Amino acid sequence: MEQTISVAYPNVALHGYLRETGQLTRETEARLNEAHRTGLQKILSFEAAGGGFGWYGGREGNALLSGYCAMFLADLAKVFEFDPRILERTIAWLEKAQDSRGRWIGSDGHATWQRLSDAEIPCTAYVAWALKRAGRDDTVVLGRAEQFLRTAAADDAYVAALIANAFPTKPNLDRLAKLGNEGVWSTKLSSWTRSRDGAADLETTALAVLALANSHPSLADLGAGWLVRARDSYGGWGSTQGTVLALRALAATGGGSRDKIGARLQVNGKDIPNAFIESDAAQSFDISPYLVKGSNEIVLEASRRVNAQIAGRYYVPWGTEDMMRGVEGLNLRVAYDRTEVKLGETVRCSVQVEADAFMVMAEVAIPPGCTVDSSGLEDLVRRRVIDKYTQTGRSMIFYLPGKGATFSYALKPRYPLKVALPRSVAYEYYTPDRRVIVPPQDFEVRGQ
């Protein structure tokens, strides 16, 4: 279920961001609407018979996941029309799931904060926030939740940010503001999707910016600036949660404008003519032809304040230090039963991922010119050895359970070649910096 929203939610966040910043075109909106339609159909297959949403089809409803889905449906309703009863019954289930003390506690064996003695605090704050985002306010249910949270310990920025988003009172907002450090809010906890370390700090900062955008605008702007600098080279923020929350935060702080912007680019003291045109849309320019070995100076002057990013890529030859290194709680092995084969023969690729995470991704290289036997992969999904798979031109991407998986699949070469396979990698989906790499392997296919 969460993986399905992982695909659908960024489209909703992007749709809202483009509309908010005046960058939405008819063509883009049409493509996004089609994506919303498909995503909604998939998500409904995870609705539990007794209400709420479960991790898999047929599972009972889970409080955290149902809260997440309520947020998604509420945000989707702002940009796409669908049956409102879907959201109404999700809200009704969440309200019924609250206990007599005003708490929501993880169910279905997936209490995300189960290692914490006070796990009910972030869980309750998260679900209350979800109900507020879904349009519920001034209810008995939220009153009970607020009463419970009023006396809760919230000295961690992640918990404080969830509480401040759910109940943006002056004490909650001021407490959150004091926990920031020059526009960054750090946490010692894992987020509800088990992102940790830098990935959890990113989510926490985005949550803080969302909460403080109106009450502490200068502080929120500092956080928004840090989020812009934290983007990866593809313009995202690593995980789905990080990307969705960052887009929400930037939209809340006015991350764009309907006004056209003029910009002037200079590289190493030389003006680059026509690098940018006056526009209200995002633009990019390749400066690699103007770079020199060593230090480079890049100057961007704009007609007003803008968000800018410099991204670079470079090649480093594989060496002994690039061999697979272990990460605590994560390991990857990729092996082929033969690396020298003849045309017409079948090769089996064995994959073993050991993990202790919420969800794990494995990107396994496909030997060039080889066809993957998808029937075997479908069987792995049916037996729940893997959750899902997709194929790109150069690799198989596997969505795996949090404990990892061991499996194999068949490949069939189509023509003779001798190559070094690309590297394979495994990483925690919500903490992508926690990764292990298997370096390239030699692979040869001989003619018959």
Q: Are 168 and 149 in contact (CB under 8 A)?
A: no
Query: Tokens representing 382?
Result: 């049916």
Q: Which domains, from first to last, does the chain contain? A: 2-252 (1.50.10.20), 263-302 (no CATH), 322-446 (2.60.40.690)
More confident residue, 22 or 365: 365
Q: Convert the pLDDT of each residue in 365-423 to its tens digit.
A: 988 888 898 888 999 998 989 988 988 878 899 999 888 999 999 998 888 888 888 88
Q: Are 61 and 48 in contact (CB under 8 A)?
A: yes
The secondary structure element, H or E, covering residue 36 is helix 26-44
Comparing 313 with 360, which gets the higher pLDDT?
360
Q: Residue 271 CB: number of other CB atoms within 10 A?
A: 10
pLDDT band at 319; cut points 50, 70, 90: low
Residue from 435, 436, 366, 353 nearest 400 by CA: 353
The DSSP bridge partners found for residue 428 are 360, 431
| Coarse DSSP helix, strand, coil percentages of the chain, rounded to the nearest 5 percent | 40, 20, 40
Place of tokens 């483009």: 18
User: Does the pLDDT value for residue 240 go beyond 80?
Assistant: no
Torsion angle defined by CA atoms of residues 100, 103, 107 and 112, in that order, rounded to the nearest 10 degrees: -160
Rg (the chain; Cα; Å): 24
Measured between alpha carbons, how far is residue 98 from residues 63, 94, 124, 224, 312 in Å? 9, 7, 9, 34, 49
Residue 190 in this model has a pLDDT that exceeds 50: yes
The DSSP secondary-structure symbol of 259 reads: S
Q: Mark out the alpha helices in 134-264 (DSSP H runs).
A: 140-150, 157-166, 170-178, 197-212, 217-229, 240-252
Q: Considering the chain, what percentage of its residues have pLDDT values greater than 90?
A: 30
Higher pLDDT, 143 or 6: 143
Residue 153 has pLDDT above 60, yes or no: yes
